[in-house]
Amino acid sequence: MKAYPPAKVRNVALVGHGGSGKTTLTEALLLCSGAITRTGRVEDGSTVSDFEPEEHSHHMSTSLTLAALEWRGYKVNVLDCPGYADFVPEALAALSVADLAVFVVSAVDGVEVQTEIFWKAAAELGIPRLIFMNKLDRERADFTGVLAQLHSAFGAGVAPLELPIGEELNFHGLADLLSDTAFVYEAGKWTATTAPIPDDMTAQEHTVRDSLVEGIVVADDDLMLRYLDGEEVTADELSKTLARGVVSSQVFPVICGSASKLVGIDRLLDIICDVAPSPLERPAALVRAPGAGGTGEVIEVAPDPAGQPLVWIFKTVADPYVGKISLFKVLSGTVRPDAALFNPRARSEERLHLIFTLRGKEQIPLTEVTAGDIGAVAKLASTYTGDTLTPRNMPVSRVPAGSGPDEDGAGGGSSWLAEATTPVLSVAIHPKSKADEDKMMTALHRLQEEDPTLLVRRDDETHQTVLTGTGETHIAIAMERLARKFGVGVESEELIIPYRETVTANAEAEGKYKKQTGGHGQFGVASLRIEPMERGAGFEFVDNIVGGVIPRQYIPAVQKGADEAMSEGGTFGWPVVDIRVTCFDGKFHPVDSSEMSFKMAGALALREALAKASPVVLEPLSMLEVTVPNAYQGDVMGDLNSRRGRVQGTETGQPGESVVIALVPTSELVRYAIDLRSLTGGRGRFKARHDHYEVMPPNLWDKVRREHAGAEK
């Protein structure tokens, strides 16, 4: 594939709800452009963009895929994005480098929740949008009804450029409103023949066209005056004015078609090339100069092919055969094979030995990648997703998309986008075998390179490896990839909640450790008093020994024994906190006493005293912030009450949204990500942080103890 200047590059993200036909549309675009000779099917696992085995088995896209094609002297980088809720971060990665978002909407199902979410993301990122109404050939397809939904959901800027000719199974063409021409398709052919508008559509076409033209000419004062004077406005003039409206995100054209029947696909490619913005028409990328604590100056970088080479890595793919493949966008300059660039984060030089573009998993070599274009490179040693590669004398880093300069010049950022990419569902995993255990952590870290939204941590208290993702499907597919790509088998297990114990009364006990085995024996006696302290105070040890009943050198051993006994668990098996332990009496033997004997005596005394001091179980509480559409606020608050949550208040969020703030037991939030998605139809989101420990209701103590015992087994 040859190199293209920025003016001839179109970076297009296909986004929309799962099942709207984005992958099938990608196949149709590749076929019409001549990139492939026949289309595959999602059901058969034969499509270009869904090539991972997990995508075949689940019949869904799970990661963004680049599929480059050429059309009429333009290079179109198609980014096919997943539509399932668990993989929103993949779509956001595509939007971060796209210059146009094509929203694929099913004419049968209409505007669905993920479409709304991606629209909101594209609006925050300032990305021009176009709508492709797909599946107009299906039963129950409703162009008029779905168009009304689009107007209701996304505003008056939604403007149909075409009307469908025929309904449902008889859909076979398009009436183009700009040129007053019909495009008719024969079965199995993607090329159209032109014809007059059908007589039965003439009145409707004229009405919709007049409305469209009025909406377009308002963007150009001269054109509007000519139109009002009754002068004819040409289709070419309307197209150019429309393009300006698209670039400014004031107009959102609606295109009709059927990806499976290849109707309207060539028209979509034409409109992408004629109306979609090139990288030159988009705002300049923002990069941050070096500065302490990330406070360096923010600089605009234009996509100039002659400028300094700047490359931003927006996606990493872990290929078991090729190694790590990094997808990048050239922000400035021109990148050629064997280019040497500097990674400011890793403080190391990277050599881009072979650069190529991708068409699914097919690698197509490139001689150069110019500013604004997208490419790929293999085997970068120290570079990960989000890194910027620069000349050594210009160690800048890209400011994330949507993070425009604040008043102080620093990047702002969207809290909503941050929440959308934050993993919220955690599961504990363990290796299936000893061989898997040896490789598990290394494999997990390599998987994180490919998917930064996966979080992996080792809990030192529960001794569990915790994997956190955006949902059940996300985590399940991550575990499948661990097995396939890295040969590591893992299984999930119940997540152990870190409960605590404390006491509510004072108690005393004597611990005696006596052992005779021949020769020197073991002897130590320690009397301890325990009393409760304020929540969060921890542990305090008081030495109240007088008269030398326990030699001074053995007092630390008593404290250590008590401390270890607290860590090992009290009456209910959980670590003990928030108590004061006073050592007030004891006995020793001049020959048989030792540090070990007094350590054991301290532990025995503490355990006995704990049982006498009215122990209670403490549970962790999380401060939860749930953001939901106003219509779901009551349902969410009722659900939180059923989880023993205490609502602390509500706030007004973004337009149409409420934020519910509540204290909820952490144990009740293990599956909250799944339950909230079900409760709000996928429209709710939340964030939680540990707040404090509180006494658990006594009726739940035995249940928690049984669950803990089962988890340890």
Q: Give me the pLDDT at residue 614, please.
A: 94
Q: What letter does residue 296 receive in the DSSP assignment? A: P
Distance CA 23, CA 47 (A): 7
Main-chain phi, psi angles of 318, to 5 degrees? -90, 100
Amino acid identity at 421: T
Span 8-281: which CATH code?
A: 3.40.50.300
The CB density around residue 299, as the number of other CB atoms within 10 Å, is 16
- CA 290 from centroid of its chain's CA atoms: 28
- CA 641 from centroid of its chain's CA atoms: 28
Topology at the third CATH level for domain 500-613? Ribosomal Protein S5; domain 2 (3.30.230)
Q: Which of 192, 19, 16, 165 is nearest to 91 (CA)?
A: 16
Radius of gyration from C-alpha coordinates of the chain: 32
The confidence band for 550, taking pLDDT boundaries of 50, 70 and 90, is very high
Q: Which of 205, 232, 227 is nearest to 216 (CA)?
A: 227
28 contact partners, CB below 8 Å, separation of at least 6: 39, 190, 259, 260, 262, 265
What percent of the chain shows pLDDT beyond 70? 96
Say if CB 411 and CB 286 are below 8 A apart. yes
Distance CA 302, CA 304 (A): 6
pTM flag (> 0.75): yes
Residue 223 pLDDT greater than 90, yes or no: no
Q: Give me the pLDDT at residue 167, please.
A: 93
The CB density around residue 382, as the number of other CB atoms within 10 Å, is 12
Q: What letter does residue 504 receive in the DSSP assignment? A: S
Residue 708 pLDDT greater than 80, yes or no: no
As its CATH architecture, domain 422-493 has 2-Layer Sandwich (3.30)
Residue 11 pLDDT greater than 80, yes or no: yes
The CB density around residue 643, as the number of other CB atoms within 10 Å, is 15
Q: Give me the pLDDT at residue 713, please.
A: 52
Q: What letter does residue 589 receive in the DSSP assignment? A: -
Topology at the third CATH level for domain 285-417? Elongation Factor Tu (Ef-tu); domain 3 (2.40.30)
What would the mean pLDDT of 699-710 be, rounded to a whole number? 74
What would the mean pLDDT of 281-297 be, rounded to a whole number? 83
Q: Which of 667, 666, 502 is nearest to 575 (CA)?
A: 502
Residue 633 pLDDT greater than 60, yes or no: yes
Residue 413 pLDDT greater than 80, yes or no: no
Domain spans of the chain, in order of start: 8-281, 285-417, 422-493, 500-613, 618-712
Residue 312 pLDDT greater than 90, yes or no: yes
Main-chain phi, psi angles of 222, to 5 degrees? -65, -45
What would the mean pLDDT of 528-555 be, rounded to a whole number? 93
Fold agreement between 285-417 and 618-712: no
Residue 712 pLDDT greater than 60, yes or no: no
Residue 417 pLDDT greater than 80, yes or no: no
For residue 713, give the 3-state DSSP assignment. Answer: coil
What would the mean pLDDT of 398-421 be, rounded to a whole number? 57
Chain mean pLDDT for the chain: 91
Residue 340 pLDDT greater than 90, yes or no: yes
Q: Please indicate whether residue 224 or residue 10 has the higher confidence score (pLDDT).
A: 10
The confidence band for 210, taking pLDDT boundaries of 50, 70 and 90, is confident
Distance CA 169, CA 125 (A): 38
Q: Give me the pLDDT at residue 294, please.
A: 62
Q: Which of 27, 33, 31 is nearest to 10 (CA)?
A: 33
Q: Give me the pLDDT at residue 406, please.
A: 40
What would the mean pLDDT of 116-121 be, rounded to a whole number? 93
For 178-182, the CB contacts below 8 A with 24+ separation are 178/212, 178/235, 178/238, 178/239, 178/242, 179/235, 180/205, 180/209, 180/235
For residue 579, give the 3-state DSSP assignment. Answer: strand
Domain 618-712: top CATH class = alpha beta
Q: Give me the pLDDT at residue 305, please.
A: 95
DSSP string of 301-315, one letter each residue: E---TTS--EEEEEE
For strands 100-106 and 74-80, give the pairing.
Answer: unpaired
Q: Give me the pLDDT at residue 519, please.
A: 66
> Which tens digit of pLDDT belongs to each residue from 120-137?
999 999 999 999 999 999
For residue 605, give the 3-state DSSP assignment. Answer: helix
> Which tens digit of pLDDT belongs to each residue from 139-197?
999 999 999 999 999 998 899 999 999 999 999 999 999 888 999 999 888 999 999 99
